[in-house]
Each structure stands twice: as structure tokens, then as C-alpha cells.
Amino acid sequence: MSRRCLRCGSTYEGDAKFCPKDGNALVEVGAPAPSGGTGSATGIRKVVPTSSAKQDLEKAGSLTNQMLDGRYQIVKKLGEGGMSYVYEAKEISTDQTVAVKVLSPKLGKDESSVERLRREAGLAMRLDHPNVCRIMRLGETEDGMIYLVMPCLKGELLSDIEVKVGPMTPEQGIPIVAQVSAGLHHAHLLDIIHRDLKPENVMVVTEADGSPHAVVMDFGLAKEKKAGPGMAKLTATGIILGTPEFMSPEQIRGKPLDPRSDIYALGILAFEMFTGKLPFQGRNAQEMMIARLRGTPAALRQYRPDLSEKLEKALAKSMETNPDNRYTTALEFGQALAASLDNRGLIDKLKSVLQ
């Protein structure tokens, strides 16, 4: 059975219920309109939310100035996506400022989504590294609202910085990528793979001396390498979890993943930071995925001839189609990037990060 996302138009086979790109509910293609709904010329069933569902959605999205679970005073909304709402809050018992991610009610009613969120908390609670955002608590309110509590980082998303700054210099970009590689390496040592690394999942906090401090966010799609049968069922939905523009060839094919898949995504992320473009082109996400399966990435200096050959080679190796030809660890990739710098002082500073 085919299902389609009415928000982005993507179509999926199998019994997937929600779009992995934006979290929107999928509808059956060619199904008759339900009672109380309206049909369309395309034959796609339009689902009209019940008043109860609307109320739940409005509640989760409008918690500002309210008390959550008797523990957290919600201060303001920081952002929202298809799968969650993120708020700044004050923990009453400690007076500590935290970030609270509230799961969208429509996903909270889906067992696989709830299981994935619980897994996110379980995995992220094991992470303890300055370049990884840890999960402090997983909670559930009496009326079934599920939420995660994290440190409240005062910074900017890397995606926003890219828009504001444009293509970065090696001195601007390499420290950020090196720190991300260090955070990923820590997770990989614990047999945790991120699987959805992208600029929107990296927070950059400016230190007192003006230097960037990068933190990898959202291990919501993370997966233990040594997954058992129960874990495997979470992805047996006919869809591939991840963001299409940054997915490795093996992830596109639905193959087993290891740290080298994150290294591939980090290579694409770095390429975009330095050029403002993706290394694989296509008219849509599907064409770009096909390009990664059949072609080779664009050369860095095709867009930035002012950058070094060392940097170009480091990025090219991270994005090799065959995982065996990539760096073995994220730390090795970070070290190769640092070695491409001409700034000896910055190289020495990054050595402490890349140990």
C-alpha cells in the first residue's frame, strides 16, 4: 500500500504512518474519503482531525507561561517541527533553565514513535561529552504528554549560521566540524550511531573568547550498532529514517549502518559549510539520492578554488561511496581536517579536541 505526505508530497510503500522528513501523518493513495471528510481529484484521502486531536495539538503547542508536569515552568517556545515542540523552561526544584522537547500528540499516540523517543532518551543519557547534548530526563504527564528535558544551550543552529555567514573559511568551519567529529566519536565508542546528522542538528555556542563550541543535538534517530530483533522492528516500516540530502549510500539502500555512515553525512555537512552547496545535485531529494548511489561528489575546489587540496582530499575521502574507503573513525576525519589548516596556533588548539 502506498501512503503520501500531504505536506511535502513524498510517497512511501508499506505501513508507515508518519513522514520521516516532517512528521506529518501519511494518507493512503487512492483510498476513498472517510465519512465526514472530503475527497479530491487525485484520489488521496484527506483526514480531518477530530476536535479532540486539535485540542491536544493546540495544547502541546501553546504551553508558554504554563506549568508542565508540576516540575517545569514554561518560559517561551524556542521552536517547533513536525515531530515536537521545544520550550525554554525553569525547573522549579533547582531554579535551573532547561530546554523541554514535547512530543507532538499525533506521534505520542503512535507506539513506534513513542518507542523511538524512549530509545533517544535511553541512548542520550549514556552520552557524556562536551560536544554532545545530553538528555537529563524523560517524562510523561498525567494526560499522556511525553517530553524530554535537556540543557538549554544559548547558541545558534549551524543551519542558521550558514544562511547568515555564507560559505565559511577553513578557520571558521574546521573547528566546528572537528568538534562535531569528536562528539560523534564519543557516541560511536558507545556503539551509538546518530543517523540524522545535518546542520539543523548542530548547535553552535559562542565562547567568551569568541570561539565556536559545537554541540551535536537530537539523537532521536540514533541506533545502537548491536541492535536486537526488537530494535530492528522499529525500522521495519517500509521507510528509511534520516534526512535524504545527508544520507549515506548504505543508508539509502537500507543496509546495516556503522560509524562510517555518520562520517559520510559529516562530509556532506562540511562541504555545504565551505561552498553553500551540496556535493550531489538533483531536482529533488530522490534524484540526489540516486546521484549518491551512482555518481561521485563534486570536487570542493570546483566551487572554492581558493581552498587547499588537502581539504578537498579530506572531504572526498569522507564521502567515498564504499564505506571501506572512508575514514575508519570520525576522529580521524577531524584530524585530517585540522591537518589541512595553515594556522599552526589553531591546529594546536584543535589537538586537545581531537584526542
Q: What is the pLDDT of residue 30?
A: 44
What is the DSSP secondary-structure string of 287-327?
HHHHHHHHS-PPPHHHH-TTS-HHHHHHHHHHT-SSGGGS-
Q: What is the pLDDT of residues 222-255, one digit of tens each?
A: 444 443 333 333 333 333 456 778 889 999 888 9
Buried b (16+ CB within 10 A) or exposed e, 206-230: eeeeeebbbbbbbbbbbbeeebeee
User: What domains does the chain contain, in order, with CATH numbers?
Assistant: 1-48 (no CATH), 55-151 (3.30.200.20), 156-353 (1.10.510.10)
Q: What is the pLDDT of residue 22?
A: 52
Q: Which residue has the higher pLDDT, 16 or 169?
A: 169
Q: CB of 270 within 8 A of CB of 318? A: yes
**Least confident piece of the model among 7-21, 258-272, 322-336:** 7-21
Q: What is the pLDDT of residues 119-167, one digit of tens each?
A: 767 877 889 999 999 888 888 888 888 888 999 998 999 999 999 999 9
Q: Which residue has the higher pLDDT, 58 or 326?
A: 326
Q: At what angle do helices 170-189 and 330-339 cross, to 10 degrees?
A: 160
Angle at CA 133, nearest 5°, toward 273 and 202? 15
Q: Which residue has the higher pLDDT, 268 or 40?
A: 268
Q: What is the pLDDT of residue 61?
A: 81
> Which residue, among 106, 62, 86, 81, has the nearest Cα to 8 in the 3D structure?
81
Best mean pLDDT range from 66-70, 124-128, 217-221, 346-350: 66-70
Q: What is the pLDDT of residue 271?
A: 96
Catalytic residues: 196
What is the DSSP secondary-structure string of 177-214?
HHHHHHHHHHHHHTTEE-S---GGGEEEEEPTTS-EEE
Q: What is the pLDDT of residue 229?
A: 38
Q: Which residue has the higher pLDDT, 195 or 41?
A: 195
Q: What is the pLDDT of residue 269?
A: 96
| 52 vs 47: CA distance, rounded Å | 14
| 256 vs 271: CA distance, rounded Å | 25
Q: At what angle do helices 259-275 and 330-339 cross, to 10 degrees?
A: 30
- Residue 281's pLDDT band (cuts 50, 70, 90): confident
Q: What is the pLDDT of residues 288-326, one digit of tens each?
A: 888 888 878 999 999 999 999 999 999 999 999 999 999
Q: What is the pLDDT of residue 2?
A: 61
Q: What is the pLDDT of residue 283?
A: 80
- C-alpha cell belonging to residue 265: 553525512
**Least confident piece of the model among 143-147, 193-197, 211-215:** 143-147
Q: Are strands 156-157 and 146-151 parallel, antiparallel or unpaired?
A: unpaired
* pLDDT cut 70: percent of the chain above it: 74
Angle at CA 247, nearest 5°, toward 200 and 14? 105
What's the whole-model pTM score? 0.74
- C-alpha cell belonging to residue 4: 503520501
Q: Which residue has the higher pLDDT, 97 or 292?
A: 97
| 309 vs 183: CA distance, rounded Å | 26
